[in-house]
């Protein structure tokens, strides 16, 4: 049974027909020509006809097919056809809905010329000099012959049909002044024609974006060509294609099933879009993204949803099945610190296409003339990143920043850690007209306030590269007389901790901070809390923190477990000294995180016994005990003698977790 009859003489009509086809909604589609019929999809649910109908024939069709509604998507200039469809609907009692194009008039262009007809436009142009690109069709060609020297100054663009070319040739439009081409015409193609033909004026009907109106206007503006716009002869009321799709979805309970493109838009300017991204955005019925992104990419008449939360985006798409082609705009490249990963999870089961873009690192490094294949690349935008430490230990670091004081905060920390010779390249508002790129030393940026959309590249010729394994040499630490966990013991203990890059770690009884510093360097996106009660050790901790630029290390003076109470829950905890409070410390750790990973170092047998007793009483598993005996050589005269260190017991376990 036919649900909908569509009079589809325009792009809007084809869009509606394609929508019906995708949703398997039976319909009857009327087009004006065989060519129009060929443009529609072959379908088992659509019946297509190119027969021209008068009022009586329309009435007979409506009575035969008995559609729920009749959609009039004919050309805005087909006034008589529209009147016939209205009359046929009234006399057969069928619901009539008019689909109108968006009127793309832009009054801010004060140099535009407006006319009510081609005749009036010709009259206005007869008093002006300059070549003319006429895009109003072959039916209007005769009217341009009234212009003086029309055969030289008027360039007529018409359909590539033999009959049309013959008629226009007889009027005097020949050679380069007759352009026979089949649209659609992009902005770039329109602009190329205007430049090639040196046209000062472009004559067009205000037929909406689907008629290529906006592409013509954009091309004219780009080339300094004056648009001569002929207004619509009828003042009609109707709805847009989007509103029509909404009605169809509500009426027939249609579900979302179109394509969703996750589009990397580069830095944000249109010039930075890839061709694939441009096509996806141009063809989208709905754009989704942050306002600055939609504002920079939106085309006239396009719907937008301002949102960047993945779950809200997925919910909106599900609630609006009328959109078959959706573009979700993501800054930079979809695979470079992008929201695409969360979106893919939220849109699981949907038809999703990923379109890459130009990332900020690629764009910015090209702007400062630097390679990026040898740079450590990270982001401090909405996430932890120990930039100071990364810059201390790497020759070149690129980072995305996300706050106005991101650059000044980094500069002050570099000075605090005696890294005054680092060279900073900063970039903000990349690709926009207000783009700003600067170079300097940290002292040049200490009071700098920039745009949140900023990046930085730091070059440190004095970098101190880290080894790729645990075990900083003991001699590298500032020690004095404070006890220190030695290199070999520290290496095994850190291995047993099973650190992750974003771990939150405690070092209880931190001493000189050798374990704290190594934990901080191995968890660049995490946090380390060094708890120490003795004043001399606290001062050494601070000195070692500064020496190794362990900016994600926080020194806390106090006694455990009290000093731990206000700290965030740990993922790992190292206990090098407990001051007799081992059980209380372990209980608090397990309370904060029932699955915490714990490593205890013991020298005294009494501490070993206490640790084993606690492990038996507390909810832990994965228990392991390692005794480590280390001997180091010492030169005595011409001989090397092995001198034994105190044996160390390394006890490790993991919280069993609630409910286990």
CATH number at residue 57: 3.40.50.20
pLDDT exceeding 90 applies to what percent of the chain? 63
Q: Return the DSSP state at 320.
A: -
Separation CA 74–CA 81 (nearest Å): 8
Separation CA 151–CA 153 (nearest Å): 6
368 and 332 together in one domain: no
Query: Looking at the predicted structure, is the pLDDT value of residue 499 above 90?
Result: yes
515 and 619 together in one domain: yes
Mean pLDDT of 463-467: 82
The model's confidence at residue 33, banded by pLDDT at 50, 70 and 90, is low
Query: Looking at the predicted structure, is the pLDDT value of residue 108 above 50?
Result: no
What CATH number should be reported for the domain holding residue 159? Answer: 3.40.50
pLDDT digits (tens, 9 = 90+) for 83-92: 999 999 999 9
What CATH number should be reported for the domain holding residue 413? Answer: 3.30.950.10
Cβ(576)–Cβ(507) under 8 Å? Answer: yes
DSSP 587-614: HHHHHH-TT-EEEEEE-SHHHHHHHHHH
* Pick from 14-23, 96-105, 293-302, 327-336: least confident: 96-105
Query: Is 464 a member of any domain?
Result: no
Query: Is 107 a member of any domain?
Result: no
Question: What pLDDT score was predicted for residue 109?
Answer: 46
Question: What pLDDT score was predicted for residue 41?
Answer: 72
Query: Is 108 a member of any domain?
Result: no
327 and 415 together in one domain: no
Question: What pLDDT score was predicted for residue 208?
Answer: 56
How many other β-carbons are positioned within 10 Å of the β-carbon of residue 93? Answer: 8
Tokens representing 147 are 């212009």
Mean pLDDT of 221-231: 89
Cβ(331)–Cβ(265) under 8 Å? Answer: yes
Query: Is 565 a member of any domain?
Result: yes
Structural domain including 94 reads 4-98
45 and 177 together in one domain: no
The model's confidence at residue 658, banded by pLDDT at 50, 70 and 90, is low
Quote the longest CA-to-CA distance of the chain: 121
481 and 608 together in one domain: yes
- Ranked by mean pLDDT, the top range of 11-15, 420-424, 603-607 is 420-424
pLDDT digits (tens, 9 = 90+) for 472-489: 888 889 988 787 888 899
Query: Looking at the predicted structure, is the pLDDT value of residue 659 above 60?
Result: no
What CATH number should be reported for the domain holding residue 603? Answer: 3.40.50.150
Question: What pLDDT score was predicted for residue 237?
Answer: 82
521 and 428 together in one domain: no
263 and 210 together in one domain: no
Query: Looking at the predicted structure, is the pLDDT value of residue 292 above 90?
Result: no
Mean pLDDT of 637-655: 91
Identify the domain boundary among 358, 374, 406: 358
369 and 354 together in one domain: no
Indicate the number of domains in the chain.
5
The model's confidence at residue 102, banded by pLDDT at 50, 70 and 90, is low
The sign of the CA dihedral 290, 296, 300, 302 is negative
Separation CA 172–CA 142 (nearest Å): 10
Tokens representing 594 are 């029932």
Cβ(341)–Cβ(374) under 8 Å? Answer: no
Smallest CA-to-CA distance from 485 within 617, 603, 634 is with 603
Separation CA 107–CA 529 (nearest Å): 62
Mean pLDDT of 312-338: 91
Identify the domain boundary among 358, 373, 404: 358
Separation CA 268–CA 431 (nearest Å): 7
Query: Looking at the predicted structure, is the pLDDT value of residue 646 above 70?
Result: yes
Question: What pLDDT score was predicted for residue 44?
Answer: 80
Identify the domain boundary among 358, 387, 418: 358
Cβ(293)–Cβ(331) under 8 Å? Answer: yes
Kindly give, in sequence order, each residue whose CB lies less than 8 Å from that of residue 35, ignoring residues fewer than 6 positions away: none
138 and 195 together in one domain: yes
Task: Answer whether the bond into residue 524 is a cis peptide, omega within 30°.
Answer: no
Question: What pLDDT score was predicted for residue 534?
Answer: 93
643 and 520 together in one domain: yes
Separation CA 401–CA 479 (nearest Å): 36
Query: Is 248 a member of any domain?
Result: no
Separation CA 409–CA 416 (nearest Å): 11
Query: Is 403 a member of any domain?
Result: yes
Mean pLDDT of 11-22: 87
The three state secondary structure string of 217-238 is HHHHHHHCCEEEEECCCCCCCC
The model's confidence at residue 378, banded by pLDDT at 50, 70 and 90, is very high
* Pick from 140-149, 366-375, 483-492: least confident: 483-492
Query: Is 235 a member of any domain?
Result: no
Average pLDDT of the chain to the nearest whole number: 89
Query: Looking at the predicted structure, is the pLDDT value of residue 210 above 60?
Result: no
Mean pLDDT of 30-50: 76
218 and 268 together in one domain: no
Question: What pLDDT score was predicted for residue 107?
Answer: 42
Query: Looking at the predicted structure, is the pLDDT value of residue 236 above 80?
Result: no
Cβ(363)–Cβ(431) under 8 Å? Answer: yes
128 and 84 together in one domain: no
Query: Is 135 a member of any domain?
Result: yes
Pure H helices in 322-386: 340-346, 360-367
How many other β-carbons are positioned within 10 Å of the β-carbon of residue 362? Answer: 16
Tokens representing 153 are 């100054």
């Amino acid at each position: 049974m036919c649900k909908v009859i569509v009079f589809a003489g325009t792009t809007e009509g084809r869009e509606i027909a394609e929508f019906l086809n995708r949703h398997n909604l039976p319909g009857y589609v009327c087009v004006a020509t065989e060519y129009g019929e060929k443009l529609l999809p072959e379908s088992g649910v659509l019946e297509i006809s190119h027969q021209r109908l008068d009022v009586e024939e329309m009435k007979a069709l409506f009575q035969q097919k008995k559609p729920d509604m009749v959609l009039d998507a004919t050309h805005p200039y087909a006034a008589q056809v529209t009147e016939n469809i209205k009359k046929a609907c009234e006399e057969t009692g069928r619901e009539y809905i008019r689909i109108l194009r968006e009127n793309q008039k832009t009054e801010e262009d004060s140099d535009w010329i407006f006319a009510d007809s081609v005749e009036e436009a010709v009259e206005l142009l007869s008093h002006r000099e300059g070549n003319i690109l006429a895009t109003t069709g072959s039916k209007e060609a005769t009217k341009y012959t009234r212009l003086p020297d029309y055969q030289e100054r008027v360039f007529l663009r018409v359909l590539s049909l033999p009959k049309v070319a013959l008629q226009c040739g007889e009027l005097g439009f020949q050679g380069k002044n007759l352009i026979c081409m089949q649209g659609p015409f992009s902005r770039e193609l329109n602009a190329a024609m205007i430049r090639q033909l040196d046209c000062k004026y472009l004559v067009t009907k205000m037929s909406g974006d689907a008629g290529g109106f906006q592409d013509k206007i954009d091309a004219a503006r780009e080339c300094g060509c004056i648009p001569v716009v002929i207004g619509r002869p009828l003042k009609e009321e109707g709805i847009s294609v989007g509103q029509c799709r909404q009605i169809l979805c509500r009426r027939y309970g249609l579900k979302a099933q179109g394509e969703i493109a996750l589009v990397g838009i580069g830095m944000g300017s249109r010039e930075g879009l890839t061709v694939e991204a441009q096509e996806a955005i141009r063809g989208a019925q709905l754009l989704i993204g942050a306002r600055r992104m939609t504002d920079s990419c939106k085309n006239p008449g396009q719907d937008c949803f301002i949102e960047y939360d993945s779950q809200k985006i997925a919910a909106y798409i599900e609630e609006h099945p009328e959109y078959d082609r959706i573009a979700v705009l993501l800054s930079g490249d979809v695979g470079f610190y992008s929201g695409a990963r969360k979106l893919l999870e939220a849109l699981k089961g949907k038809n999703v296409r990923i379109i890459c873009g130009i990332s900020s690192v690629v764009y910015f490094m090209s702007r400062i003339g630097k390679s990026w294949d040898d740079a450590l690349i990270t982001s401090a935008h909405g996430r932890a990143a120990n930039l100071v430490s990364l810059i201390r230990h790497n020759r070149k670091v690129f980072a995305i920043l996300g706050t106005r004081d991101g650059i000044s905060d980094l500069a002050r920390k570099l000075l605090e850690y005696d890294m005054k010779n680092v060279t900073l390249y900063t970039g903000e508002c990349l690709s926009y007209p207000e783009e700003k790129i600067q170079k300097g030393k940290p002292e040049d940026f200490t009071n700098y306030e920039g745009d949140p959309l900023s990046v930085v590249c730091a070059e440190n010729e004095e970098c101190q590269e880290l080894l790729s394994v645990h075990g900083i040499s003991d001699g590298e630490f500032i020690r004095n007389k404070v006890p220190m966990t030695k290199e070999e013991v520290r290496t095994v203990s850190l291995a047993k901790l099973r650190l992750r890059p974003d771990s939150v770690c405690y070092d209880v009884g931190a001493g000189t901070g050798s374990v704290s510093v190594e934990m901080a360097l191995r968890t660049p996106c995490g946090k380390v809390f060094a708890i120490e009660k003795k004043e001399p050790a606290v001062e050494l901790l601070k000195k070692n923190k500064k020496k190794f630029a362990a900016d994600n290390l926080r020194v806390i003076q106090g006694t455990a477990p009290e000093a731990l109470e206000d700290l965030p829950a740990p993922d790992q905890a190292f206990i090098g000294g407990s001051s007799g409070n081992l059980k209380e410390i372990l209980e608090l750790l397990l309370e904060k995180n029932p699955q915490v990973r714990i490593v205890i170092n013991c020298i005294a047998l009494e501490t070993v016994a206490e640790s084993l007793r606690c492990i038996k009483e507390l909810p832990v598993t994965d228990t392991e005990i390692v005794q480590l005996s280390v001997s180091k050589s010492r030169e005595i005269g011409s001989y090397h003698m092995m001198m034994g260190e105190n044996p160390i017991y390394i006890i490790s376990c993991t919280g069993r977790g609630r409910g286990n």
